[in-house]
Amino acid sequence: MIFTAATNDEALKIHIEERVDLIVTKLDQPGLRSEELFEIINQSKELREVLTVVICDSTLFHRERCNRCGAHAVFATPIDIALLHLKIRQFLDVAPRQSYRVALNVAVEGKFNNRPFLYRTENISATGMLIKAEEIFAQGDRLALSFYLPDGTRVSARGEVVRIVKQGNAPDGCLYGIKFTDIAPSVQSPIDTFIKNELKYKRTLARESETKLSN
């Protein structure tokens, strides 16, 4: 779950209420000075168990301010977005994932007479996927999954529902985070390759766009 805050005061309020795992902020974010924000967090036994990333201008003065904040990682502008994403994944121990919408056959072990249903994926990683479904699954439900990658590779795996995100009063159900519990390495490797190629392609497009804008 991702929360956004326009000021450091809002960021602090969200952290107090939600106990977030990671805070990414700019050094000169409006509201509380960043030094004050980090002092409050670091002095609180309940709040200090959080990883922090601060983005600042590439000056010695700003880097010294970041050091005083005690941030776990500092990124100076202009930011290498790919490196920032990599650091966030390392901090959160999240596998790289890619938006991928494809027809997905899912059978729930012990439910619905093990009859498979057709869903659509939202995104995929080498360790799991996110799907949207109208049926009410429970955390811990074990699933049999089957779908195809863009290169035609058929993926058959078993997984477990580890996260449920309700979509308010939306009629199209919930989002379910599924962790693969049994997937062959020969299948996992093509998923990794697909994700890396897609991320590389997006980074290339981003760089080309930045070059055009700078010209």
pLDDT in tens, 44-91: 988 988 889 999 998 889 888 888 888 888 898 888 888 888 888 778
- Tell whether 112 and 163 lie within a shared domain: yes
- Are 73 and 105 in the same domain? no
Q: Please give the model's pTM, rounded to 2 decimal places.
A: 0.51
What mean pLDDT, rounded, does the chain reach? 81
* Domain contains 3: no
Residue 79 lies in a domain: yes
Domain of 148 in residue numbering reads as 97-186
Higher pLDDT, 21 or 171: 21
**1 lies in some domain:** no
- Exposure string (b/e) for 61-99, b if CB count within 10 Å is 16 or more? ebbebbeebebebbbbeeeeeeeeeebeeebeeebebee
For the domain that residue 69 is a member of, what is the CATH number?
Answer: 3.40.50.2300
Please identify, among 31, 59, 92, the residue that sits at the C-terminal boundary of a domain.
92
Work out how many domains the chain is built from and give that number.
2
Is the pLDDT at 192 greater than 60, yes or no?
Answer: yes
> Is the same domain home to 82 and 124?
no
27 and 86 in a common domain: yes
